[in-house]
């Protein structure tokens, strides 16, 4: 009798040991034989996403048990994931919960031309700069967004850092950034500011591109924006030098001459009333905020200071402006800038 009890205990111990080993193997042993990539999409249900994960792994029961324990169904992160050979079910479940996907951080800001923007983007993701530039100049894509020209697409690029997949197609990236722009302008505070200043998002981005090109002094931007708003409200020509540089095709011009002012272009705000047809550059966030919160004053003119420090003198009257301009031109002559 005692021998039977001992045998039963030993058998039970062996069974428990085997079950423990099997359980340990299912949770901690390799569940993946070969690398694969899985995309977790917000468009799919949790079960559909998990089926894609399970397609390349073993021990589904153990995965489901651990996933339920960590509430994966309520916390799973969308993205593209590299699942590596040798990973166990716990590692995979945690990977999906933490969100360590293949996404990269794409920063866009301060691009003066589509070529510059395409090059900057291409250096950060797996994209060819030529293909990126082609998407930025795609007339059909511009029309899809309601624009009459590809140049208008500069208005959708809000300077920021975005998470994207490194292999995202250029056209898909432009669509994503359009969506991010729509979200930016859907903000209730910004919607109220747009209502208060009586401008559309497109007009804000266009004016902000001029402010961005006018000054590097962030604290001066709201005052510059205020001058342009005063001129717009009074039906005056903006007479913005950056738009002339854009019309001429030379943003490096240090001195605007009379022959430049005569260039025949809708971007020449010395000849055409109102804002130019499209943004002339990608404005930074400071310039956008400067337009949304422009300084209210009675200045109608401004001119670079003779100190050549990148700042400006502001004037209420044309006579005062002429004095400021004369001082600046004398400084140009002294430095032989023609």
Helix pair 2-28, 60-69: axis angle to 10 deg: 80
Mapped onto helix, strand or coil, the DSSP state of residue 79 is: strand
Q: What is the model's pLDDT at position 272?
A: 96
User: Using a CB cutoff of 8 Å and minimum separation of 24, what contacts does 147-153 make?
Assistant: 149/277, 149/278, 150/114, 151/114, 151/277, 151/278, 151/279, 152/202, 152/277, 152/278, 152/279
Which phi-psi region, left, alpha or beta, contains residue 45 (left: φ > 0; alpha: ψ -120 to 50)?
beta
Low-confidence ranges of the chain (pLDDT < 70): 1-25, 100-102, 338
Torsion, Cα 6 7 11 13, to 10 degrees, reads 20
Q: What is the model's pLDDT at position 144?
A: 93
Average pLDDT, the chain: 88
Phi/psi for 312 (5° steps) reads: -135, 155
Q: Can you say whether the dihedral through the CA atoms of 109, 268, 275, 138 is positive or negative?
A: negative
Tens of pLDDT along 148-191?
999 999 899 999 998 887 778 899 899 999 999 999 999 999 99
Q: What is the model's pLDDT at position 334?
A: 86
79-83 and 104-108 as β-strands: parallel, antiparallel, unpaired? unpaired
Q: For residues 134 and 174, what is the distance between their CA atoms, to the nearest angstrom?
A: 11
Mapped onto helix, strand or coil, the DSSP state of residue 121 is: helix
Q: For residues 205 and 203, what is the distance between their CA atoms, to the nearest angstrom?
A: 5
Q: What is the model's pLDDT at position 278?
A: 95
Residues across the chain: 338
Q: For residues 299 and 231, what is the distance between their CA atoms, to the nearest angstrom?
A: 9
Q: Give the up-direction half-sphere exposure of residue 139: CA atoms within 13 A in the CB hemisphere.
A: 2
Mapped onto helix, strand or coil, the DSSP state of residue 81 is: strand
Q: Give the up-direction half-sphere exposure of residue 321: CA atoms within 13 A in the CB hemisphere.
A: 11
| Domain 21-98: assigned CATH number | 3.30.1490
Q: What is the model's pLDDT at position 25?
A: 61
Reference 278, options 264, 263, 297, 265; nearest CA is: 265
Tens of pLDDT along 86-104?
888 888 898 898 876 667 7
Exposure string for 148-162, b = 16+ CB within 10 A, e = fewer: eebbbbbbbbbbeee
Q: Where are the domains of the chain?
A: 21-98, 104-186, 188-297
Q: For residues 95 and 128, what is the distance between their CA atoms, to the nearest angstrom?
A: 30
């Amino acid at each position: 009798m005692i021998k039977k009890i001992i045998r039963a205990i030993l058998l039970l111990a062996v069974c428990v040991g085997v079950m423990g080993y099997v359980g340990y193997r299912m949770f901690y042993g390799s569940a993946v034989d070969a690398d694969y990539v899985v995309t977790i999409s917000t468009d799919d249900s949790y079960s559909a996403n998990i089926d894609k994960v399970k397609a390349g792994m073993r021990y589904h029961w153990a995965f489901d048990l651990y996933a339920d324990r960590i509430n994966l169904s309520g916390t799973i992160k969308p993205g593209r994931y590299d699942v590596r050979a040798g990973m166990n079910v716990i590692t995979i479940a945690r990977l999906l919960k933490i969100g360590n996907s293949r996404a990269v951080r794409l920063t866009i800001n301060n691009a003066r031309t589509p070529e510059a923007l395409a090059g900057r983007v291409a250096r950060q993701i797996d994209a060819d700069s030529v293909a990126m530039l082609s998407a930025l100049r795609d007339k059909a894509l511009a029309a899809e967004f309601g624009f009459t020209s590809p140049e208008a697409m500069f208005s959708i690029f809000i300077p920021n850092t975005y998470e994207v997949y490194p292999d995202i197609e250029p056209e898909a990236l432009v669509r994503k950034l359009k969506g991010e722009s729509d979200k930016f302008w859907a903000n209730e505070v910004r919607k109220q500011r747009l209502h208060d200043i009586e401008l559309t998002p497109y007009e804000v981005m266009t004016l902000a591109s001029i402010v961005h090109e006018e000054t590097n002094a962030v604290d001066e931007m709201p005052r510059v924006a205020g001058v342009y708003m005063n001129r717009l409200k009074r039906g005056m020509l903006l007479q913005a030098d950056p738009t002339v540089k854009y019309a001429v095709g030379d943003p490096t011009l240090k001195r605007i001459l009379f022959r430049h002012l005569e260039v025949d272009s809708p971007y020449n705000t010395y000849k055409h009333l109102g804002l130019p047809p499209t943004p002339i550059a990608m404005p930074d966030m400071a310039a956008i905020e400067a337009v949304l919160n422009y300084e209210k004053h009675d200045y109608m003119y401004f001119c670079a200071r003779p100190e050549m420090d990148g700042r400006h003198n502001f004037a209420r009257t044309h006579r005062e402006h002429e004095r400021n301009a004369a001082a600046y031109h004398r400084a140009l002559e002294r430095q032989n800038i023609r």
